[in-house]
Structure 1
Amino acid sequence: MSLTILTVPGLGSSGPEHWQTRWEQHYGYRRVEQREWDSPVCSKWVAALEAAVTAAGPAVVLVGHSLACATIAHWASTTRCPIRGALLVAPADVDRPDFPSEATGFAPMPLNELPFPSIVVASTDDAYATWERAEQFARAWGSRLVNVGALGHINSASGLGLWPAGHRLLQELLG
């Protein structure tokens, strides 16, 4: 049974310089596409994730970024699809008072243990979630927490290129 890696971008999707896009191009990973990247509705994003995982089969690993981490947490509480694991990078704190109003239905952040192995990767200076919140998410989800230092939102602006350190974390999750 072959393993499928699905990237799950956050709000606005991941542009050409984002490490997720580069991983797709370099390693052949597939993106979970959403109909509406800029005004997301949680239930619709969860449904699209469910369809993508169902189509891919049980040997799936998810690689989520930002709002996709909340999507994956919501999905995990409702799905019957087993997966091998998830790499959850820079989870956005959907409970913040200044969370973008164009994204609806994501709050409150699910804080149930995930039914699959996971790693939360967080930065100490992420504008979308404090380090303390990332710690809380990892603890609640039963995830290993990795501190990557001051890398902002771990996105295109972080200048990570192919982000080999992140890919090593994915390989650890697979191992």
Structure 2
Amino acid sequence: MTSPTKPTVLMVPGLRDHVEDHWQTILQRALPNARSVAPLEHDKLSCAARVAALDAALRDIDGPVVLVAHSAGVMITVHWARLRRRPIHGALLATPADLETPLPEGYPTHDALRDNGWLPMPRERLPFPGIVVASTNDPLARFERVAGMAQAWGSRLVHAGAVGHLNPASGFGEWPRAAELVAELSRERANAPC
């Protein structure tokens, strides 16, 4: 179990799970208090299975937690927040995939996402502080749509510029801004009970 004084940073990967050269994987290795939701062996497209995996990872952590979600991991996080009430210190929600609009070839279809419980996307205010990072040229979500998500979730929007989907295919690899935003979220409620 983890010390309750400093938040544990929990990575919530997207549908591609753990990618070795992804900024989440690099950040996890760099932080002494970080871990990740375990990859699924079965039901990989099931939103309920992904939410259950996040919930199981959180049950193994004592004390405050900062979630670091990317792409569909953001949707896993907001679906989880709608169903569960474990206190969360804050969440970095980077380049959420807009699952309500058709995704590029190679990604699940709208029907497959609907049939696996991803739709509709939750629009309720999150019960914890959030920072949503949006890209101006993300092939998985238009900036305006992500800005609307941030507003609905009661989260601060960070305009990241033209960073694509903020993944290795877009040139990220290492993303130093992630550590800065996680540190900000870790401090944000330092004196608040979690």
TM-score range, shorter chain: over 0.9
Match of 2:84 among 79, 88, 93: 79
Q: Cα deviations across residues 78-111 of structure 1 (Å, max 9, x unaligned)?
A: 1021110100001001111346135421111100
State the secondary structure of the residue aligned to 1:77: helix
User: In structure 2, what is the equivalent of residue 11 of structure 1?
Assistant: 15
Larger Rg: 2
8 Å contact 1:58–1:83 — kept in the other structure? no
CA distance in 2, matches of 1:113, 1:50: 19
2 CA distance for matches of 1:38 and 1:13? 13
Task: Give how far 1:34 is off.
Answer: 3.0
Does the CA contact (< 8 Å) of 1:13 and 1:37 recur in 2?
Answer: no
CA gap of 1:88–1:48, structure 2 versus 1, over 3 A, is same
Q: Secondary structure at the match of 2:144?
A: helix
- 2:123 matched to 1:111? yes
Structure 2: give runs of 5+ residues left out of the alignment.
Answer: 188-194
Task: Determine what percentage of the aligned residue pairs are the same residue.
Answer: 47
- Residue 147 of structure 1 pairs with residue 130 of structure 2: no
Structure 2 distance, partners of 1:80, 1:59, is 13
CA RMSD after TM alignment: 1.7
Is 1:49 the counterpart of 2:50? The answer is: no
What is the identity, as a one-letter code, of the residue corresponding to 1:140?
A
Match of 1:25 in 2: 29
In structure 2, the partner of 1:61 is 66
Q: Which moved more, 1:77-86 or 1:93-102?
A: 93-102
Alignment correspondent of 2:169 = 157
What's the CA shift for 1:38?
8.4
Counterpart pick for 2:132 among 97, 120, 127: 120
Q: Gaps spanning 5+ residues in structure 1: where?
A: none
> Displacement, 1:148?
0.6
Instruction: Please give the secondary structure, in 1, of the residue aligned with 2:83.
Output: coil
Secondary structure of the equivalent of 1:15?
coil
2:108 is the alignment partner of 1:100: yes
TM norm structure 1: 0.93
Task: Tell me, yes or no, if the aligned pair for 1:61 and 1:86 is still in contact at 8 Å.
Answer: yes
Q: Residues of 1 paired with 2:170 and 2:122: CA distance?
A: 27
Displaced runs of 4+ in structure 1, greater than 2 A? Answer: 36-39, 101-104, 158-162
Aligned length: 175
Range moving further from structure 2, 118-127 or 39-48: 39-48
Contact 1:12 1:38 in 2 (8 A): no
TM-score, structure 2 as length reference: 0.84
User: Aligned AA for 1:9?
Assistant: P
